[in-house]
Structure 1
Amino acid sequence: MATPDFILALRKKIGSDPLWLSGVTAVVVRDDQVLLAKRADNGKWTAVTGIIDPGEQPADAAAREVLEETGIVAVPERLAMVHVTDPVVYDNGDQTQYLDLVFRFAWQSGVPSPDDGENTAAEWFALDDLPPMSDDMCKRIAAAVSNEQAAQYVFSPPSPGGA
């Protein structure tokens, strides 16, 4: 599913104005490999990402997105990172920004396949041979595959003299 119905309903009310959303990134690991999907909209390789539906638990949302987008069954192991994405402006002018929860997942079963039309490919990549990706996506993956058990978070201290 490309855009959830609840967002389409909100967009009817607010137009293209900025919309703050909760999102998830699922970094699925199998041995020394990570699952990546090639996005249909921009051709970039990423870990699986998605929007949390109202009332949905974040880890459940991430597992749902992995299954919908790649056909892979995976289980969450830990929350790896909490951060805010840069603002996004879509081709249609819609503006959004995400509070993103990055989870490390363990592969359980399935063969990668771009199942829902949001991606043109889904493949396993060796952690030491990843395709080109944004710095932000590389940070999400690094947080998830690290041995650190505590979640990382991004902290931007207030500027001097700021409110």
Structure 2
Amino acid sequence: MSTPEFVLALREKVGHAPLWLPGVTGVVVRDANAPDPEVLMVRRADNGAWTPVTGIVDPGEHPADAVVREVAEETGVEAVPVRLARVGVTEPGVYPNGDQVQFIELTFRLEWRSGEPHPADGENTDARWCAVSRLPALGQDMRARIDAALADDERAAFFAGGELVR
């Protein structure tokens, strides 16, 4: 994944020390009222995993604007946020270069407006619509993000340690 400039600048000062960063996940839904709606999925270039679009919120950027920007940058799809679906905290992680990170993760449900998905910025090797009934294999956390976005509940779900804490 492409590292934002502000993170690179922080890394110059803190080295590999843990960083707490705001992250967003965009679950873009097309044909929401269809019997089997479609969700926008990308195949990540760094590990080959299928996920919804994810990204980092830039300093001063509203998270809803960040998720719209990330979807457009990564897939060429235009979408609008409908609601905040989930708030979670990822497990601490370490990148191959030794950088430590943990994310407060905000999952948004978005509605498709226009555009056909394609890997637009090099962060992904594929981008496509997938029927909810035929999603590719997903990790438990990514599946939980999608499920929260697709739920009929208008309230956001709050997760800590993999458990719903609402």
TM bracket, shorter-chain basis = over 0.9
In structure 2, C-alpha distance between the alignment counterparts of 1:108 and 1:81, rounded to whole Å: 22
SS in 1 for 2:134: coil
Residue of structure 2 in register with 1:124 after alignment: 129
Mapped partners of 1:10, 1:62: distance in 2? 22
Determine whether 1:18 maps to 2:18: yes
Residue type of the partner of 2:78? V
Name which of 34, 40, 44 aligns with 2:49.
44
Name the structure 2 match of 1:93. Answer: 98
How far 1:155 moved relative to its partner? 4.5
- Quick one: which of 103, 113, 118 aligns to 1:113? 118
Question: Would you say how many aligned residue pairs link Structure 1 and Structure 2?
Answer: 156
Paired amino acid for 1:123: R
State the distance in 2 between where 1:14 and 1:43 align.
Answer: 29
Amino acid at match of 1:17: A
- Is the 2:25–2:55 contact (alpha carbons within 8 Å) kept by the matching residues of 1? yes
Give per-residue Cα distances to partners, 1:100-125, cap 9 Å, x unaligned. 01000000000100000000000000
Superposed CA RMSD: 1.0
Q: What's the TM-score once normalised by structure 2's chain length?
A: 0.92
- Measured in 1, the distance between the counterparts of 2:143 and 2:73 equals 23
The match for 1:102 is 107
Letter in 1 for 2:12: K
2:89–2:160: 8 Å Cα contact kept in structure 1? no
- Give distance in 2, aligned partners of 1:7 and 1:155: 25
- Could you list the per-position Cα deviations for residues 54-82 of structure 1 after superposition, in whole angstroms to 9, with x for gaps in the alignment? 00000000000000000000000000000
1:151 to 1:117, Cα distance in 2 relative to 1, 3 A: same
How many Å separate the matches in 2 of 1:87 and 1:103?
Answer: 22
